Amino acid sequence: MNTNFLHNIINVLIILIVGLHDVDWTAFFSAETSLKIVAGLTIAKLLINGVRDGLTGMVKPQPPVER
């Protein structure tokens, strides 16, 4: 699976869950549950990066984007 695509899906999920704060989100999740879900998704992104790039790859300067 393309890890960039997976990152994009996780980013959209995080935005949607956090965006529920603007409406009455208690109909979907409690504030505590939403925080746990967002934290879990963020940890998943870090783990994906760690497996894909290694720990040193996550802190090294990134190459410029090629067009």
Q: Where are the domains of the chain?
A: 3-54
Crossing angle for the helix pair 31-57 and 3-19, to the nearest 10 degrees: 150
Mean pLDDT of 17-35: 76
Give the CA-trace dihedral at 32, 35, 37, 43, to 10 degrees.
-140
Residue 18 has pLDDT above 70, yes or no: yes
The pTM of this model reads 0.69
